[in-house]
A and B are shown apart, each in its own frame.
Chain A
Amino acid sequence: DTAVSQTPKYLVTQMGNDKSIKCEQNLGHDTMYWYKQDSKKFLKIMFSYNNKELIINETVPNRFSPKSPDKAHLNLHINSLELGDSAVYFCASSQSSGGVEETQYFGPGTRLLVL
C-alpha cells in the first residue's frame, strides 16, 4: 500500500518545455505539499494545499502552478522549464495544516533533469 505516490519517477526534458508531475495520497490527509530538493540536498517547501485550497506559496516563480482537483491529489505543472529547475521534487501530506505536531509523509520523489 503506497501512502504517497508520485509520477513520473524520472523526467528528462529540454529547456523551454512544459511538464507536469502528479501526486496522490491514500492516507485521508487534508494537507498536501510540494518540496524541491536541490543538488546540495537542501529540502525547501514550495506550496501547500489544505482541502484543495492554496495556503502556502513560497515565492516560487509563476512558471510553477500547482493544482489540487481534490484533497487526495496535488499536481505540479511547470512551464518554460529552465536549467535551474533540475532537482528532485517531493510531494508530502499531513493530517492537517498548522498543527505544530503534524508529521509529514513524503512520496518517493520525481527526479527532473532539464537539458
Chain B
Amino acid sequence: SQKIEQNSEALNIQEGKTATLTCNYTNYSPAYLQWYRQDPGRGPVFLLLIRENEKEKRKERLKVTFDTTLKQSLFHITASQPADSATYLCALWHNTDKLIFGTGTRLQVFP
C-alpha cells in the first residue's frame, strides 16, 4: 500500500540545536517533495520544494534533502528557536493530480 510516514508524532529539542524531521514514502515515485508548516488553528503554509534531481535545497535556516533511493526526505532547522515550534508536514504529488500529505511531526523548541 502507499504510505507517507513522518518519523515521530512529536519532537522536542532545545533552542539553538538542529531539528531533523524525516519523511519516508512507500510505493510512490514522486518527482518532487514539498514541506509545509502548520501552526495550531491555522492552515498549512508552504515552506520548500525539492525536485528528485536535487540532493539538497536551502532557505535561510531550513535545509531539505531528498534521497529517491532511500525514498526519504529530511527536513532540518538549524539554530532552532521557540518560534519554530509547529507541526511540519511533507507532501508529494500523486499522479500529477493531487497532493498527498504525510502524518506530520509536531516540533517543540524549548528555550
Contact residues of A with B, CB < 8 Å?
4, 40-45, 48, 55-56, 58, 90, 92, 97-109
Contact = CB atoms under 8 A, between A and B. Distances in A.
B96 A104 contact: no
B61 interface: no
Q: Chain A contact residues: over half helix, strand or loop, or mixed?
A: loop
Interface residues of B, number: 23
Contact of A56 (B34, B38, B98, B104): B98
Contacts, number: 55
Contacts of B89: 43
A42 B103 contact: yes
A102 B44 CA distance: 14
B60 interface: no
B89 to A, nearest CB: 7
A92 B31 CA distance: 21
Contact of A106 (B41, B45, B97): B45
B46 interface: yes
B97 A109 contact: no
17 contacts: A42-B104, A43-B101, A45-B99, A48-B98, A56-B97, A58-B98, A90-B44, A97-B97, A99-B96, A100-B32, A100-B93, A101-B51, A103-B34, A104-B46, A106-B45, A108-B42, A109-B41
